[in-house]
Amino acid sequence: MPCSREELEEREFNVLAPYAQRSAESYGRVHPENAPVWRTQFQRDRDRVIHSRAFRRLEYKTQVFLNGTGDHLRTRLTHTIEVAAITRNIARALRLNEDLAETIALAHDLGHPPFGHKGEAALDRLMRSHGGFDHNVHSLRIVESLEQKYPGFHGLNLSWEVREGLSKHVGHFALPGTPSTLNHRSPCLEAQVADVADEIAYYSHDLDDGLDSGLLSESALSKSVPIWKDAARDVRREHGKLPDECRRYFIIRCLIDNQVQDVVSTTEERLQRLKISSVQDVRENRSRLVSYSPSRKKQNQELRRYLYKNLYYNPKVHEPNLKAVRMLAELFDFFLHHPDEIGAQARRRMPQEGVHRSICDYLAGMTDRYAILEHQRLLEGLPQPPSP
């Protein structure tokens, strides 16, 4: 017999920890829909994210290096997949709802504009007098209204808990069934896990890309970054001398594994010490429960400072991204003076959203390569690219 939604929900009640978010106890969706037959509500959410156009566009958006710089360098999509994998591992270890945690991880960067964090900062400056721009807020905007593929509603109509996880701030969503007494100081543990997994993947894999590009070196890392030095020592003890690529892979693997173990053990200790016994307890807790130990947090801060100094602001990374960001600003100015040139969907939203927000939505949805091609077409007189 096929495994029904009811059976999957029963498994959640039998297996998950008492502070995990069960799909049968979701606060629901803005637009009521018939329940899925073979999936839980959070499995449905995950599938909707994966099948969205915004998710597919992540393949051509910058992570650190401008998209197209190297075949093995990470894009926003490969980063997202790696975050989802780490998220599932931590969620499973803590007996949380893996489907919910994975969905939040898969959707967490849907709102990123082209050209990475520098593109985000540029759009925020351009929108300073019109509400600003934040990729977390824009991720919500995408799943709530900008994706338009379902009859009867705009957006993906995701469940309350997924949207909570994407909000990245304390707040309420107006949904029928949400208790007015909900004292929402923190999001569910599944959202907190996805947030920490994002950081683990970000810095560990940026190290990998920095080494692969030749902008970072193992010898310099061993001298300046204790967390790298410790992992390299452990790999050398266990495996001896390894070929360069294999050694580097195993050091990164060791880094990630150590981070995951630290987060799981630290979080479990906090949950027990604070006597957390329900999702409500999690949301009422003032501080995040999913976290590193103090010593690991300090090491991560040292790694972060090193990466900013030696990778993110390395001229070979920084200057191409700055040039790309200037293209974004020039496109914004061009569309302000020629609003008829923006895409049809953004144009239709203009009467409700205003010119500036509609242009911002259009630019934020572009991939790196489409933004470059549009700049060439509109401002450099080169041939028109295919539609995004």
* Model confidence pLDDT, tens digit, residues 93-145: 999 999 999 999 999 999 999 988 889 999 999 999 999 999 999 999 999 99
Measured at the CA of 138, the angle between CA 87 and CA 264, to 5 degrees, comes to 15
What is the SS3 assignment for 235-298? HHHHHCCCCHHHHHHHHHHHHHHHHHHHHHHHHHHHHHHCCCCCHHHHHHCCCCCCCCCHHHHH
Average pLDDT (186-202) is 95
The pLDDT confidence band at residue 261, using thresholds 50, 70 and 90, is very high
Task: Tell me the domain boundaries of the chain.
Answer: 5-379
CA dihedral 164→167→170→175, nearest 10 degrees, is: -40
Taking alpha carbons only, the member of 82, 77, 80, 76 closest to residue 116 is 76
Tens of pLDDT, residues 166-186? 986 545 555 555 666 566 788
C-beta atoms surrounding 351 within 10 Å? 9
**pLDDT reading at 383 higher than 80:** no
What pTM did the predictor assign? 0.92
Confidence at residue 281, expressed as pLDDT on a 0 to 100 scale: 94
**104 exposure class (CB count in 10 Å sphere: 0-12, 13-18, 19+):** buried
CATH topology for the 5-379 domain: Hypothetical protein af1432 (1.10.3210)
Q: Mean per-residue pLDDT for 351-380?
A: 93
CB–CB of 188/159 below 8 Å? no
**What's the rounded Cα separation, in Å, for the pair 129 and 183?**
32
pLDDT of residue 250: 92
pLDDT band at 70 (very low <50, low <70, confident <90, very high): low
Q: How far apart are CA 248 and CA 244, in angstroms?
A: 6
Q: Which of 62, 60, 58 is nearest to 84 (CA)?
A: 58
Distance of CA 2 to the CA centre of its chain: 33
- Residue 136 neighbours by CB distance under 10 Å: 17
Return the closest-CA partner of residue 302 out of 192, 203, 209, 193.
203
pLDDT of residue 66: 61
Structure confidence by residue, pLDDT tens digits, 311-361: 888 888 878 778 888 999 999 999 999 999 998 889 999 999 999 999 999
Beta bridge partners of 301: none
**Confidence grade of residue 224 (pLDDT, cut at 50, 70, 90):** very high
Say if CB 260 and CB 159 are below 8 A apart: no
Q: What is the pLDDT of residue 170?
A: 42
Over residues 246-270, mean pLDDT: 95
**Residue 82 and residue 296: Cα distance in Å, rounded?**
21
Beta-carbon contacts of residue 209 (< 8 Å; ≥ 6 apart) = 63, 64, 65, 73, 74
Q: Is the pLDDT of residue 49 over 80?
A: yes
Burial of 134 (0-12, 13-18, 19+ CB in 10 A): middle
Asked if the model's pLDDT at residue 46 lies above 80, the reply is yes
Report residue 200's pLDDT band, with 50, 70 and 90 as the boundaries. Answer: very high
Least confident of 121-125, 239-243, 276-280: 239-243
Q: How confident is the model at residue 67 (pLDDT cuts 50, 70, 90)?
A: low
Return mean pLDDT, the chain: 90
- The pLDDT assigned to 105 comes to 97
Measured CA to CA, the distance from residue 3 to residue 8 in angstroms comes to: 7
